[in-house]
Amino acid sequence: MNESSLARSILGGTAQGPVIATQEALSFWGGVDPATARVIDVHHSMHGICLTGAILMMPSSRGSCTGSGVLLDLVLNGRAPAALIFSEAEDVLTLGALIASELFGKPLPVLRLAPQAFAALASAKTARISDTAIEADGLSLSVSPPASSALDLTEADRAMIEGRDGIAVQQAMRIIGAMAVQQGARSLVDVTQAHIDGCIYASPANLTFAEKMAELGARVRVPTTMNAISVDRANWQEQGVPHDFGDPAARLADAYVRMGCRPTFTCSPYLLDSAPKCGETVAWAESNAVIFANSVLGARTAKHPDFLDLCIALTGRAPLSGVYLDEHRKARRIIDVEVPSEVDDAFWPLVGYLAGHAASDRIPLLRGLGAARPSRDDLKALCAAFGTTSAAPMLHVEGVTPEADGAVAADADRAVITRADLVAAWKSLNAGPEEVELVAIGSPHASLEECRALAAVLDGRQRHPDAAVIVTAGNAVIADARTEGTLARLEQSGVQVVPDLCWCSISEPVFPTRTRAVMTNSGKYAHYGPGLSGRAVRLGSLADCVTAALTGRAPVRLPTWLS
């Protein structure tokens, strides 16, 4: 490999600072505090480190699509890393840096290094980056300029770029084009629908972007659903949410509604009547939704970052790259899972979490799970947990998911998830006190079947007075639960069912302030919850959650299928 191929500029600029390097990908949303730039992911090796002013090196990002908004906020408020250096393809943080440069004139260099150059630079203490070179502790690397390949655009594409449909669409096409080039796309593709993740008030930058686009006259041109937001839109003031948070969070949701988005406010858009069909080309953001759409529904969507989701909704066009293409949907790692007998619902988030660790940078094929006959909700839990620990936009489950047959690439390698791995992960995600003050259900948003199951297990019994039980769900599910009487049964047991919010966006006082420990059946929230809430969060089955709800306690022990 010649020196010129060792380092490539993705987004130009100059920077200098201390080198902070990790071999573990990080989600900026749920992993980095926008107010301090400190890593808050308690499961990450960089926990507690401040990233401001650093040359941050990691293989790629992972987890939430909302990381682009967190990075943009850090840039706009002077708390961002000085530069980002990856060794693999990366879209989420790159898009945040692109928006900072394109819309706000604040460039942040993004580079990609070959593995040997990445390893050499990672051992340096400080580095200086220019448009043409990286200098660090005696190491000198030439930097190749950003890719500049021309896209094969349609007449309609060119008309949008030239401003035919207004400034907002023109700006959106510029952003899409820039992302397409850095992804290696040669053309764009039509999408039939979009799902917006950027409506979560992760930081003031999300509101700044949305209101700027709305003021420019932005209007979506394909049917577009909206993710969960950060407040119960109709009731946040009555709930005591502080005005300085509730008002901008509600304004953010309103901005997207003004742009023509459907106020679905759910992180489980695959539960809606508008869910895409197998083979349908869509543009979804929100990591769990993307993985479920690709893996379980057989639809096609890249893992679009926040902000790019709106750009695609405004134009109906997306970069034709990644898992939109057949060759990139194949598994490059086969994972054999040692499945214990008689597993319960807690098995699925646990194995998804481990599968993400085992395939952090590639699509896996999971083998051995078919005999356990996962339900739609089991697969929902698996996909959501997988998305917290992997950057991959999909997975395959042999004998279960629609593209699993023939889904293995010729160069695929192998891995195993053993019973010992399951035990270790369970202990890691189940650390905390036995006393539980809060039971959290609905991350991602609960389905009607999950609401029915919870009502059935509670069977009219009252929750313990010291243990709040909150279910977050989409309005469509709540309406169906109300019609059939399930909502009334839950409320009779003291369960609070909250619309619009999800556990990854909930805040005090809707999140009970007296809580010290949380019990959840979500692998996603078990991972993100400690950093987001500052509380201990324990993973368990639905039955474990009900035990905690009724008694205020949850014994720390292995499930029977791991004992």
Listed residue (442, 460, 447, 474) closest to 545, CA to CA = 442
Residue 327 corresponds to which tokens in the numbers above? 């060759």
Residues contacting residue 219 through CB under 8 Å, at least 6 positions apart: 168, 259, 260, 314
> How far apart (Å, rounded) are the C-alpha atoms in residues 359 and 357?
6
Residue 344 CB contacts under 8 Å (≥ 6 apart), including other chains = 541, 543, 559, 561
For the beta carbon of residue 107, count every other beta carbon within 10 angstroms: 17
E strand or H helix at 112? strand 110-113
Distance separating alpha carbons of residues 59 and 61, to the nearest angstrom: 7
Distance CA 224, CA 199 (A): 12
Q: Which sign does the torsion angle of CA 273, 279, 283, 286 carry?
A: positive
Output DSSP code: residue 532.
H
Whole-angstrom Cα distance, residue 356 to residue 397?
13
Task: Say how far apart CA 200 and CA 194 lie, in whole Å.
Answer: 16
- Do the Cβ atoms of 25 and 61 come closer than 8 Å? yes
Catalytic residue among 64, 101, 321, 360: 64
| Cβ-contact 484, 400 below 8 angstroms | no
68 is catalytic: no
Q: What own/partner pairs with CB < 8 Å and gap ≥ 24 does 324-328 have?
A: 324/189, 324/281, 324/300
According to DSSP H, which parts of 184-218 are helical? 204-215
Q: Which residues pair with 334 in a beta bridge?
A: 365, 414
Q: Which tokens hold the place of 468? A: 């709040």
Q: Give Cα 502 distance to the centre of its chain.
A: 13
Q: Judge contact between 238 and 542, C-beta under 8 A.
A: no
* Residue 226 near residue 199 (C-beta atoms within 8 A): yes
Strands 110-113 and 7-11: antiparallel
Half-sphere exposure of 114 (CA within 13 A, CB side): 13
The backbone torsions φ and ψ at residue 57, rounded to the nearest 5 degrees and listed phi first, read -120, 125
| Catalytic positions | 64
